[in-house]
Amino acid sequence: MSRCPVNDLILYAYGELEDPEREAALFAHLRTCKSCQEELEFLRNLQRGDLEEGAKPPPVAVPPLRAPVHWRFHWLRVAAGILLFLFAAGTTWWLTTQRQDKSAFDRAVQNEILLAAQTDSLMAALRNLNLAFPGLDSGSVLADCAGTEVLSLLGNAERLLSDLRDDFQAHSGSQKEVIFQ
């Protein structure tokens, strides 16, 4: 006698045996196996209704899993808008400030050079610059100018402008406040 196909028997009893060939083999086995016939009958009697008891489940409090999606997106959009506005405003302010710093400084230097050209007194112009910008370390610039009397005022003026710019940029943090006071 062949070994009983118990797994297929159980699947068949509950309508879950989907392979026609295995089903046919099971039928062939059932014709000759009394034990499997009895087990099939028992399984068919052992149906779901046997255990139903009418017990009433207790109520369950159902919480919202999260805020509805459109509200979430709404707040995300608002937050993104605020961040974008702050970024744009900050960038505009910074660029404007930089331009103001540079143009104010250039104008001040040009005025002093013009004054020096008019008075033939570059040293006086430097002293005036130093007075106008008290935090500016223009000592080295002044020393250079003192040792270059042979240079013409106009030739020296360009170098002076460059030195002052470098010096200004190196101390721009402290100079900005002084310049715009």
Binding site residues, other proteins, CB under 8 A = 6-7, 10-11, 14, 16, 38-39, 42-43, 46-48, 50-55, 57-58, 60, 62-69
Task: Say which DSSP state 16 is in.
Answer: -
Tokens 């207790």 sit on residue: 58
Q: What is the DSSP string of 31-92?
A: TT-HHHHHHHHHHHHS-GGGT---PPPPP-----SS--HHHHHHHHHHHHHHHHHHHHHHHH
Question: Residue 82 Cβ, how far from other proteins at the closest point, in Å?
Answer: 24
Tokens of 11: 């699947």
Nearer to other proteins, 19 or 166 (CB): 19
d(CA 154, CA 158): 7
Nearer to other proteins, 12 or 105 (CB): 12
Q: How far apart are the first and last CA of the chain?
A: 110
| Cβ–Cβ under 8 Å, residues 35 and 4 | yes
Question: Residue 167 Cβ, how far from other proteins at the closest point, in Å?
Answer: 60
Give rounded-to-5 percent helix, strand, coil for the chain: 70, 0, 30
Question: Residue 35 Cβ, how far from other proteins at the closest point, in Å?
Answer: 10
Question: Residue 23 Cβ, how far from other proteins at the closest point, in Å?
Answer: 15
Nearer to other proteins, 35 or 91 (CB): 35
Nearer to other proteins, 14 or 87 (CB): 14
Nearer to other proteins, 38 or 166 (CB): 38
Question: Residue 18 Cβ, how far from other proteins at the closest point, in Å?
Answer: 10
d(CA 152, CA 149): 8
